[in-house]
Chains A and B, each alone.
Chain A
């Protein structure tokens, strides 16, 4: 799911639950999620040579 699809769905759900004030914080979370997904430590199945995170 893309971040924009996720955000659209989350806002719709918040509205359905009568929590429209969640919209602003969900938009802030979407920005953080976009940054997280852009980080170079993420796995990429098409380029699997990156270092695996240690456990």
Chain B
């Protein structure tokens, strides 16, 4: 697939149609069925939508950049008339009676919904292995996870289905599959994109955002999600004078060798292009995991308390155990985590005072093998889940916008990602930085 703007030019020049793009997506879904990326393919509805949007273009009605563009939606957001399964049997029988606001904004913008994508059950995991539909697989190596929780989203986009997919991110669930699958993943500032009509993992940390093939496409979809479907991508910031800060202590302590090489070579290319790069420290970085865990477990346990009692056997066993764990957290420890959240938010704010963005890898490791519970990271055996969350969860705690862009692959050809983090409520400014850095980071 080419970019959204390129597709739009061909659409408006009558060189292609939305229906042709939809048919190409449906063929690609068939060709890549082994990825198990979809919980539902909406072929008939997508064709109906595409025909209508093609008719509108022919009649001179143009909704903007997303007009006629095929997209996929993580099966945790409500699309009217179809189930929202959250990849769980707990949701058996559910059918959404309306679009959630994020989907409604995309519909108004002219996006065509191809299908709903597989995820780690209730978005509570980083590998997409625990799903009532079975694991999604990574198109770069089907023995490996596509990351999670938006694993089907990352896998389908990387396999060439659609121009964008919508994910959610509570600990890294947009950025982790973006890095594992070699695409762009944007987590906007906390609260910017509505989470109404989205099955919650943590009502205080859930974010909705796009995964796309490039940063310009992420800009278009992000603005459409906000209800501003005609906004074009902004200009990149000039490289000279750009100031980035590497979160070196803690965040760069535990990296796979190839991930480290890819990250450092990206930094060298940015420096050579005139970017000033400083090292910086988040003083309480070592406390991030404990703060995150007490927040997310408590929030999730509150949402699931009733069904854990009434239908515990419908959960995947590992997800059920994590949810049960949250029911034992004491109120005083939740309050301590809230205090830690405030401290960490101030520390990230402070790190950004002298810098346009923070920079760090997205994932410390390449996509892990499906079924692995631990992974070797430079000679140390580490739990897969802890490692995968290590570099992303901080910005769900603090709410800062963060984007993962593809960096050079490992020697064996697996994708890696570089993460840029911007100031709160400055997602557009972050996107301008990402636009400037994108090709250099990828080594193109």
Contact = CB atoms under 8 A, between A and B. Distances in A.
B343 interface: yes
B343 A36 contact: no
A41 B294 contact: no
B321 A32 contact: no
Interface string B329-344: 1100100111110110
Chain A at the B interface: SS class? helix
B241 to A, nearest CB: 31
B291 interface: yes
A13 B323 CA distance: 15
A33 B443 CA distance: 42
Contact of B284 (A1, A10, A19, A41): A41
Nearest to B325: A25
B346 interface: yes
A55 B342 CA distance: 7
Contact of A36 (B321, B328, B336): B336
B13 interface: no
Contacts of B321: 19, 21-22, 25
B231 interface: no
Interface in A20-55: 21-22, 25-26, 29, 32-33, 35-37, 39, 41-43, 53-55
Contacts of B338: 53
A53 B343 contact: yes
A36 B325 contact: no
Contacts of A6: 328, 330
Contact of A39 (B287, B324, B329): B287
B339 A43 contact: yes
B322 interface: yes
B333 A39 contact: no
A19 B328 CA distance: 13
Which bracket fits the contact residues of B? 20 to 34
A25 B292 CA distance: 16
Contact of B342 (A19, A35, A54): A54
Question: What size tier do the contact residues of chain A reach?
Answer: 20 to 34
B178 interface: no
A36 B290 contact: yes
Contact of A19 (B294, B324, B346): B324
B370 interface: no
B237 interface: no
Nearest to B383: A28
Interface in B266-285: 284
B21 interface: no
A33 B339 contact: no
B346 A26 contact: no
A27 B343 CA distance: 26
A53 B342 contact: yes
Of A25, A35, A37, A39, most B-chain CB atoms within 10 Å: A39
Contacts of B294: 32-33, 36
Contact of A41 (B286, B289, B330, B339): B339
Nearest to B297: A29
B100 interface: no
B293 A39 contact: no
A6 B293 CA distance: 17
Contacts of A33: 290, 294, 329, 333
Nearest to A43: B339
A39 B325 contact: no
Give the interface centre of A42, A53, A54 by most chain B CB atoms within 10 Å.
Answer: A53
B330 A36 contact: no
B322 A25 contact: yes
B285 to A, nearest CB: 11
Q: Which 6 A-B pairs have the closest CB atoms?
A: A53-B342, A36-B290, A32-B290, A35-B290, A10-B328, A41-B343
Interface of B: 284, 286-287, 289-291, 293-294, 297, 317, 321-322, 324-325, 328-330, 333, 336-340, 342-343, 346
Interface of A: 1, 6, 10, 13-14, 19, 21-22, 25-26, 29, 32-33, 35-37, 39, 41-43, 53-55
14 contacts: A6-B330, A21-B317, A25-B324, A26-B328, A29-B293, A33-B290, A33-B294, A35-B286, A39-B336, A41-B339, A41-B343, A42-B336, A42-B339, A55-B342
